[in-house]
Structure 1
Amino acid sequence: MGPTTDEEKPENGGGRGGIAVVEAVSTAVAEIAGLPESRGPLRRLCCDLARRVKLLGPLFDELRDGGGGSLGEFQARTIASLHGALVRAKELLVSVDDGSKLYQALQRETFVYRFLEVTEHMEKALSEVSYDKLDISEEVKEQIELVHAQFQRAKGKIDSPDLQLLKDLNWALREKYCDPIVLKRISEKLQLRTINDMKKESVALHEMVISSGGEPKECLKDMSSLLKKLKDCVVVENPTSDTLENKTSSMKHRSPIIPDDFRCPISLELMTDPVIVSTGQTYERSCIQKWIDGGHKTCPKMQQNLSHTALTPNFVLKSLISQWCDTNGIELPKKQGNCRDKKPGSHSDCDCPGINSLLQKLKNGNQDEQRAAAGELRLLAKRNADNRVCIAEAGAIPFLVELLSSPDPRTQEHAVTALLNLSINESNKGNIVNARAIPRIVGVLQNGSMEARENAAATLFSLSVIDENKVTIGAAGAIPALIDLLCQGSLRGKKDAATALFNLCIYQGNKVKAIKAGIVEHLMRLLVDPSGGMMDEALAILAILVGNADGKPAIALSNPIPVLVGVMRTGSPRNRENAAAVLWSLCTGDVQQLSAARELGAEEALKELMETGTDRAKRKAGSLLELMRQASEA
């Protein structure tokens, strides 16, 4: 008798596993259904995805009511695959809700690509479910088939962008002084109409600056400049309420009313030094410090226990308050009237007792407490350099490394991201490696959730800045896992993987590992897909692999000449430079490659590069033209 296939196994093979997976999927659907309605430039994409997911609810309600025990092992696996797709869908929807609306509008194609990825994942997972074998009603079956058809139609379908919005944004970014009508039109379409909207957008941009390692890209600086123009529009048009209706004229003859969001909930005075506590509420620093020093362990407004007593400056709100004061001719007070300044020496943003409390939860807490503590440390390590030093000095790194092996995916994700944030500090890099974190980070990279894998890749890149760590990371098996992420991750994940691979492949031994793992095939696929946004990274990695004895023939076998010549003609300056460098290496000592390059018109592209390329591109182009001249004279 032959082996029993998954489909032929008894229908109760899923057992308790079937119950668990149905509960997990049902919870995921409910969580997505409970998300707030999306606003901003991606509203339609978010609403369509959330609506389709909500329609899946009756399927899992019926399966859950039936106990889930009737699922076979194969069916349980297909439902588990669907759960993975739902988790990705929720992560995308949450990231859009929390993210910058300006960035989403300006980088719309990137987000459309992410939505298409999730849609394809959902459709594939739904297509693998055998609905005839499930104990569900005909009505529910018909509804699920309808949803599946909707996902099928949505695959590859790209909505047209709002051309007027793009025109307005480009104009507003380019011009120093903007027409208020244009700014108001932008604020309406991006749903940045109130002071609260502006605060949320400022936080989102601030998070992007932090995640860029403190060196924000030019686009972030442009968006921050545009956001200031939009903020000024809000404050000037209506400094007294949270709408954009113009009431400035009615304010000229009376003292402005302080917006509620600018008042400390304790003193009810205008805040001069707003800080955020662990519940997310903002208070005047001196007032909340006095409350804490009085022995209180709760948030005065929310009445929730404070998980720690660290106070994080709310720079965004402080900027808004300052702008409002300037607009209304108000001098910002030096001190709060009802609260005295805190004691000398207590001004540090690093709260050692709070961090030690979190450390105890990492060490001795249950799974829920460990997850929460790792999440808090993740955020604290992200906020400022002092926290990164304090957390490491408190001894948190070994416990975070231990949690990389946690069976709870969210705890694992928090732990690896906390280590990523801590690794920004140079001294912490050594502490993380000494805690034998690298093999466990590679384990997360191989088996974690998508976000955890992407952050693990970023952590390995951060650690690989130290040369000796490149060897350790390569030996731990990171390279095949990074290549896998390069193929399967989101655009951000692919870029994290590519950056880590580039840095690791500076070491010769890792080049060999990458080539043997098949990296060249994947890089060439990224190179011929300019819409994928990975051409820069693919070329940069090829440029360092082609100098390797194994790398050159592997690249030559992938028929790279047509692509490289095309990039030299139309690519960005850096890509033209790297394409010329790769082509030069391929043609040196290889008459066949040199002949192929000449036949495809490389000489003309190289001559143009001699005129307009970077210094390095000019050198490579000149050397390659000389090779061609010598070959023609031979």
Structure 2
Amino acid sequence: MGPTTDEEEPETGGGLGGNAAVETVSRAVAEVAGLPESRGPLRRLCCDLARRVKLLSPLFDELRDGGGGSLGEFQAQALASLHGALVDAKELLVSVNDGSKLYQALQREKFVHQFLEVTEHIEKALSEVSYDKLDISEEVKEQIELVHAQLRRAKGKIDSPDLQLLSDLNWALAEKHCDPIILRRISGKLQLSTINEMKKESVALHEMVISSGGEPEECVDEMSSLLKKLKDCVVVENPTSDTVKNNTSSVNHRSPIIPDDFRCPISLELMKDPVIVSTGQTYERSCIQKWLDAGHRTCPKTQQNLSNTALTPNFVLRSLIAQWCDANGIDLPNKQGNCRDKKPGRHSDCDRAGINSLLQKLKSGNQDEQRAAAGELRLLAKRNANNRVCIAEAGAIPFLVELLSSSDPRTQEHAVTALLNLSINDSNKDNIVNAHAIPRIVGVLQNGSMEAKENAAATLFSLSVVDENKVIIGAAGAIPALVDLLRRGSPRGKKDAATAIFNLCIYQGNKVKAVKAGIVEHLMRLLVDPGGGMVDEALAIVAILAGHPDGKLAIAQSNPIPVLVEMVKSGSSRNRENAAAVLWSLCTGDAQQLRAARESGAEEALKELTGTGTSRAKRKAGSLLELMRQNMEA
């Protein structure tokens, strides 16, 4: 291709103007290319935008090498417009990189709209550049045409949300004590897995409050609460160098300052065995136990009444303390405890000799002795955390697993319940699975007594907290047995089955198994039976199944719209939210369901929900109302 001539387009008044325009846009492309790779919930949108901008680089490299003076006035104006679009792109990418990841996940639709606007701006500006008239090679021309085509397609394309992340976030925001596995999954997807990332997120939330002029969005409080849960409950596996490791070079000659969060509020010393009380506060085990032994039933720090005296190990904080000690060259606190006047005889909190004696009875082959020993271990494992550790260390788990196949119903009940109590300890979960317990627990679920079935379902729920176990449990045939318990079980059995099914169905493959097992029919029956006490659980499972094509189809075939609309009108806050989410899923891409929803009076109920519902309920209701509006205009 030859250079552009005067007849084709008038020049801007000299080579300097053309060169300046090329340099300016080239620099904007380079600035976008130089941005760090975005992480978090908008990573794909950021990567797609940055990649397309980077692909424009060869165009300006060739123009710069060939001299930009041949650009005409209109070409220069087009490049100026493109420069403005690229500046907008850079500002958006920087704001996402520096902003709150929690906010981006919860307000995803708002950010998607911003990305669509920037993409449209770039595409429009690029369409004004007559690159077919520029002095560029055919190869570069083809590349720019390809990028232009990608931008045109991307203008109207809305990236699919991460439904699992949205489900996890809504659970974590709604529940006071959220499942740690859900919090870990959120931290992984939002890239909030290190101390520095947590601090950056906290700063981003603080900046949001400042920039709002003292009137922050309603969701800021929710996000701050969730961030605290993540800080408290998520294992920080990769602490950043400037928060931990760099401390060693500057403090080798003196004792480092112990972080306040690592000190027991009672003794003010570094904790070696942190435990959580019912108010959510963490204390050194020996200190809070001494407080409780003295007859107190309040939380020392908050003065709130304790709903119970259970002490739950804070494994997350223990791990952080261990990392901090290792990074600062400090020996881990010993097992003596920080409260020196701890009662004698409480060192291990378990009778090792007694546990070993019970273990011998498990091995004896005598059915009566095995039944009695399994019953004792069941009670010991229920009593406290140290017993659960001691029983596992004694090697009891494989023998209890063997007893799951016992012909004696009572022995079987004791064995599965002992394993349920032992599974409260995270390390014991692995030991139980490694002992090949899952197929036998499923066998109890299928053929045991009602009590054994209930506790088998609860055990499977406990084990399924570990993501890998969800797959193993589903493959072992647990889903149909749990669905059967949901249909035929006692009230408690139905609750245990529903809890286990919900957790297992976080894994997509198990949703298919549940649908094939006929769960939707039973769930719809439970939804219209308020007296059965299972409405909340049933709707929660329906909501998670609706995110899978097979689940959506099965739900749609069960005439769900009237029930769901009624739930939006008169259900609890959580149920209205779930019902709106299911309606949105069913009506998206299905005009028949959308018409049924409108005929059932959904529009009025959804309008009311946009004003009074939870944040998620408002979003779903608003999206569904927009679907209805578009359908009526079509």
TM-score after normalising by structure 1: 0.47
- The higher radius of gyration belongs to 2
